[in-house]
């Protein structure tokens, strides 16, 4: 059985920008443009247009999409990402400190799980869960 050898196609850069009511995809290296209705369709469409230009299958094509949005929206998205990262770190820190405090209250200070729960502002069941986990 003969296998068809497909040349390796390096990933090409493509930009996606909102133009009118559509998303416009531009592949500068090939000087081609196509449009799609939804952003979800962008990668497949970019691969299809690249594949057509290079005469290969879309599955053999790599694409690196960059979405271009107005500067104020880009700033908003960066801020969302930054705060999401901060809140993730804060949640981990709260979890670790709550676990440590629960352990100290119950083990060292000999409080009941109910008392520890009241002081920590969590349920008695949550204190029990925290005490079952190994300390960080």
Q: Give the chain's largest Cα–Cα span.
A: 76
In the chain the first and final C-alpha atoms are separated, in Å, by 57
Task: Report the candidate in 60, 58, 54 with the shortest Cα–Cα distance to residue 29.
Answer: 54
The pLDDT, as a whole number, for residue 19 is 95
What is the mean pLDDT, run by run of 10 residues, along the chain of 136 residues? 59 95 97 97 96 92 95 97 97 96 97 97 96 71
The pLDDT, as a whole number, for residue 6 is 55
What's the CATH fold of domain 12-68? Double Stranded RNA Binding Domain (3.30.160)
The domain spans of the chain are 12-68, 72-132
The pLDDT, as a whole number, for residue 133 is 75
Each residue's pLDDT tens digit, 91-113: 999 999 999 999 999 999 999 99
The pLDDT, as a whole number, for residue 134 is 55
> Do 53 and 12 touch, CB atoms closer than 8 A?
no
């Amino acid at each position: 059985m003969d296998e068809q050898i497909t040349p390796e196609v390096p990933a090409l850069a493509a930009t996606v920008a909102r133009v009118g009511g559509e998303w416009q995809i531009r592949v500068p290296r090939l000087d081609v443009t196509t449009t799609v209705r939804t952003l979800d369709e962008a990668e497949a469409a970019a691969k299809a247009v690249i594949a057509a230009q290079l005469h290969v299958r879309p599955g053999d094509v790599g694409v690196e999409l960059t979405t271009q949005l107005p500067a104020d929206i880009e700033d908003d998205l960066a801020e969302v990402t930054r705060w999401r990262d901060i809140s993730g770190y804060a949640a981990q820190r709260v979890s670790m400190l709550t676990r440590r405090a629960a352990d100290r209250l119950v083990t060292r200070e000999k409080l009941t799980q109910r008392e520890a729960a009241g002081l920590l502002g969590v349920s008695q069941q949550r204190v029990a869960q925290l005490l079952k986990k190994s300390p960080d």
